[in-house]
Amino acid sequence: MTRPEQNKTLTSGFAARCRLSSPTNLGFVFRVKPETNSEKMPKTKQSSRRKKFDYTQDRKKLLKKFIKKSNPRIENRQIRHAWDERKSTAKNLQEMGLAFDPNRSLPIKKPRLLGDDKETKAPVNIVIKPYVLDQLHEEAGRPEKDTKTLSSDLIEYAQYMIREHGDDFKAMARDEKNYYQDTPKQIKRKINEYKRCHSQHYDAFISSLAAPKPTDQ
């Protein structure tokens, strides 16, 4: 037997012995050992550090800051100034003469049976802060200010159309400088916006048109 044949025989015999001694062929089952507390990842020093009381913090200021954060901001100035944080929302609104639950303030009348003459009395709410309701009524009665402004190009466009055509909106629509191809109604709407948003400027412009032009001598 030559040397290559001997090596081949030894290799095949070693592989056979390995297959026989393999744990899977012998029926062994391996189980993973559960991780114990001692084998867990160690905690960082910062997370395991004990919390200490901070004596430098002012607890009253922290409480006020927490209350201010937790309570929503009231946009209305009159209600915000009259609001008492120690009382509930329903109690605060009741003292101002405002309704917390519209179903209780304006209840729907239920149909009564014949012979049922009992009258349900509405709950009497004592208004301690009536000035809040008066201020709200006064504020609601004021005319709303129009803060809308127009661009200088739109003002020049409206002035040109008024100067050239007066109140003839159809002629304005046919004008060659009607670059946006506005209809007569659209041009009228733009001129009305110019009147409403810049009333003083519009009046000064109209008065300048009505003034007599100086003649050349």
The two tokens of residue 172 are: 């304005």
Alpha-carbon gap, residue 131 to 137, rounded angstroms: 10
Alpha-carbon gap, residue 154 to 164, rounded angstroms: 15
Instruction: Please choose, from the candidates 196, 194, 190, the residue with its C-alpha nearest in 3D space to the C-alpha of residue 178.
Output: 190
State the residue for tokens 């946009």. Answer: 75
In this predicted structure, the answer to whether residue 50 has a pLDDT above a threshold of 50 is yes
Q: What is the DSSP string of 178-193?
A: -TT---HHHHHHHHHH
pTM over 0.75: no
pLDDT band, residue 37 (cuts 50/70/90): low
pLDDT 10s digits, 81-130? 888 888 888 888 888 888 888 777 777 777 766 655 555 555 566 778 88
Domain boundary assignment for the chain: 58-107+122-141, 152-210
Count other C-beta atoms under 10 Å from residue 175's C-beta.
15
